[in-house]
Amino acid sequence: MKQNYSSVAGQMHLCARASRIASLNAMNDCIRAIDPSEAWDPLNIAYARDLDALQDQISACLMRVQAE
């Protein structure tokens, strides 16, 4: 489905997505600082379609590497 990003709602959607991606990148940076081999490629985060699933995966990975 094609989004209309020129509307207020479209702009709010883009802003929310960008904020979420920034948060996931920050979590990924924490993973990279602990174990670089476990970190995601930033482009995989930026272009992810399902941010909910990705957030679950990154959160689980971060908790795992912090516990090791």
Q: Is residue 1 in a domain? A: no
Q: Is residue 4 in a domain? A: no
Single pTM value for the model: 0.86
Residue 68 pLDDT greater than 80, yes or no: yes
Q: Is residue 29 in a domain? A: yes
Q: Label residue 2 by pLDDT band (50, 70, 90).
A: low
Question: Tell me, what's the pLDDT at 4?
Answer: 75
Q: Is residue 49 in a domain? A: yes
Question: Tell me, what's the pLDDT at 30?
Answer: 97
Domain containing 31 equals 18-67
pLDDT tens digits for 18-57?
A: 999 999 999 999 999 999 999 999 999 999 999 999 999 9
**Residue 34 contacts residue 2 (beta carbons within 8 Å):** no
Domain total of the chain: 1
**Residue 46 contacts residue 21 (beta carbons within 8 Å):** yes
Q: Is residue 58 in a domain? A: yes
